[in-house]
Structure 1
Amino acid sequence: MGTPVGLLSLATASPPHELLQSDVLAAARALFETRFPQFERMAPVFETAGIRVRQAVTPIEWFFEPRGWAERNELYLSGACALYGAAAERALAAAGVRGRDVDTLVTVSSTGIATPSLEARCATTLGFRSDAARVPVFGLGCAGGVTGLSLAARLAAAEPGSTVLFVCLELCTLSFRLEQPSKADIVATALFGDGAAACVLRAGEGGFAQLVGAAEHTWPDTLEIMGWRVDPEGLGVIFAQSIPPFAARHMRPAMEAMLGCQGLALSDVDRFLCHPGGTKVIDALESALDLGQGALVHERAVLAEHGNMSAPTVLYVLDRARPDLTGRTVLTALGPGFTASTATLLAP
């Protein structure tokens, strides 16, 4: 990537409504038993998902009535703006800068439509300058936390001395739906939560780590593995292929190729921090990367406390690992495309 870029701060923000997994299972059973005859066969996924509690922008009762695309997106706009503001304010304060000091705004979100985009909607409240460059990014899914952070670092490196604010947020629970549920919808209901994360970056400064490299790998003919379907009810999840066995088979050679582009080998990495898509995905990554069973402890803890929030989840993992971050760390996530994304960090 050329110039190392310092991560001056990292902050997270969660919405106010906590959903205990036991309550979600009870609600899902009440909602889906008559609509999805195979529900009881799939019910164990709620217990094996590794989730104790997660957060949502709305209480669980909201999902007991049919909701259309317009209503879901209206909730996305209000909930996303609140989370954007909370995460951004915390990150700016931690970096010792203000909204008016930010030169470039990178925003990643794929769970709703915002035009004008979220950073424009929050500009007045957060005090962004009228000449700040805006870079909203849609469609990255679970890989968005890593790819977006890497994009923000590239923009910071392109203008040394400039300040970049990266905000990543997803409201995945808005994809829960009653109408014609599929197996993928049941899995999504068992896994997804809402959350946001933000970072302040600047080239040539230390911070708690420096981003020194980034790479992506997109497998050909894999568009159907993960994504959104769009219908009158809104965005519905697509899981057309089981991701854990795919990761177990293909992640190692992809990681070797991505590291090779940076002149690195797997043995040069002191620690991997991964997006915890679910317990089976975590197990598959531990196996594929020869990390040892149970090595991804921060990933399991974030999954248990927040669920799979899509893009920001891996940044929650990074935040949790920060106190003992040393040496070379590779941040990685899998997302629609089907794509693996990595960012290489050096901690002082």
Structure 2
Amino acid sequence: MTVYLHGISTALPEFCLDQTEVEQRAGLIFGDKYPQFHRLSRSFRSAGIKTRHSVVPLDWFSESHGWADRNAAFIQGATALFCDAARSALKASGWSAQSVDCVVTVCSTGIATPSLEAQVHKDMGFRDDIMRVPVFGLGCAGGVSGLSLAQSIAAGRAGFRVLLVVVETCSLSFRADRLQKADIIAAVLFGDGAAAACLCDQAPDAGPMVQLGQGYQKLWPDTLQIMGWDIDETGFGVVFDRSIPDFVNAEFAQATTAALAASGLQHSQIDRYICHPGGAKVVAAIETALELEADTLDKERDILREAGNMSAPTVMFVLKSVLEAGRTGQFMACALGPGFTASYLPVHVSAGQGA
């Protein structure tokens, strides 16, 4: 059964952090504690990031925080982002909240039970019989994996309307107490954001026809240490291994070939890859692995520059940007995340009715 994307939206929190100011603040926090900071601080200037957004102001990061206040900030910030992204996607689709049959919520940067879609149920105006599918732990692969899951649910029932909301508040995992290189790199790269999409097996009445195929995942054995969380009394601690670009160069092409074959496609048929921009080095590694011309992934670099790595929703920012640019053809969305896992989703875009 063909599944169509009816609308896609993105949302950013109110606090915009300039990369230069973040570097200065990180210097005040880490400079006297972590001898390697001044060498690593060059990453702030080479990361390809100009601004990021956060659910908390810059001064928050100079204070000590434990589980309770981190998670309180998560629930406040994530629910606001959820509503902003969801309402915008519904408006773009011409749907009402009452018409949604299922909501899939993807998030790996905080804990909420009841989960986020239940927290906002009344404010959003969802029906009381809505199907709720909260998903935790997908990390940076969550945007593509979330779209794949939503596509499978929409394909399973005729006329079933699925709202996907992907929310991450990466900034709240900032740690000044562990003094590990991964925490410096996290301070360089990560920001907060959300994205939402409306999916159904019925084609939209107007606009481009965006068809979502069946997703594909590849998990590599014995790679749990590459990306994820360490969890202790203070909160989440990022695991972000320096080997990721090299791993992409070594493994990504073969995984992509398998994903294409599973979808009945070949590399030559892909008009554009829609990639999660994990960092400047990762974007360059993807271009090398897929034998793309340098700077092919221009939208990925644009999103990284303006909003940083927001984890799961970032690839949906890229997809929205590509669609708004009027690109058509056969795409393949892809992202890497904890597991270590590569997630893929074929996306076909045609001009649609009246074009």
CA distance in 2, matches of 1:204, 1:266: 29
The C-alpha deviation readout for 1:164-201, integer Å capped at 9, x for no partner, is 00000100000111112200000000000000000000
Structure 2 counterpart SS, 1:50 = coil
Native 8 Å contact 2:8 2:320 kept in 1: yes
Give the TM-score taking structure 2 as reference length. 0.96
Structure 1 unaligned residues grouped into runs of 5+: none
Corresponding position of 2:338: 336
- The yes-or-no answer on 1:291 pairing with 2:292 is yes
CA distance in 1, matches of 2:59, 2:25: 9
Q: Provide the aligned C-alpha RMSD in A.
A: 0.9
Q: Could you tell me how far 1:154 is from its partner in structure 2?
A: 0.4
Corresponding position of 1:82: 80
TM alignment of 1:266-281, pairs within 5 A: 266-281=267-282
CA distance in 1, matches of 2:126, 2:289: 43
TM alignment of 1:158-177, pairs within 5 A: 158-177=156-175
Native 8 Å contact 2:61 2:174 kept in 1: yes
Q: Could you tell me how far 1:264 is from its partner in structure 2?
A: 1.3
Q: Could you tell me how far 1:41 is from its partner in structure 2?
A: 1.1
CA distance in 1, matches of 2:263, 2:63: 51
CA distance in 1, matches of 2:7, 2:216: 22
Corresponding position of 1:210: 211
Corresponding position of 2:57: 59
TM alignment of 1:157-306, pairs within 5 A: 157-206=155-204, 208-306=209-307
Structure 2 unaligned residues grouped into runs of 5+: 351-355
Q: Could you tell me how far 1:303 is from its partner in structure 2?
A: 0.2
After superposing on structure 2, the runs of 4+ consecutive aligned residues of structure 1 that deviate more than 4 Å are none
Aligned to 1:109, which of 79, 85, 107?
A: 107
Q: Structure 2 counterpart of 1:250, which letter?
A: E
Q: Could you tell me how far 1:262 is from its partner in structure 2?
A: 1.6
Bigger shift: residues 275-284 or 235-244? 235-244
CA distance in 2, matches of 1:5, 1:30: 50
CA distance in 2, matches of 1:200, 1:78: 24
Native 8 Å contact 2:104 2:165 kept in 1: yes
Give the count of matched residue pairs: 346
TM alignment of 1:78-157, pairs within 5 A: 78-157=76-155
Q: Structure 2 counterpart of 1:150, which letter?
A: S
Structure 2 counterpart SS, 1:213 = coil
CA distance in 2, matches of 1:65, 1:294: 39
The C-alpha deviation readout for 1:258-280, integer Å capped at 9, x for no partner, is 11112211111111010000000
CA distance in 1, matches of 2:239, 2:318: 25
Give the TM-score taking structure 1 as reference length. 0.98
Q: Could you tell me how far 1:208 is from its partner in structure 2?
A: 4.2
CA distance in 2, matches of 1:236, 1:93: 37
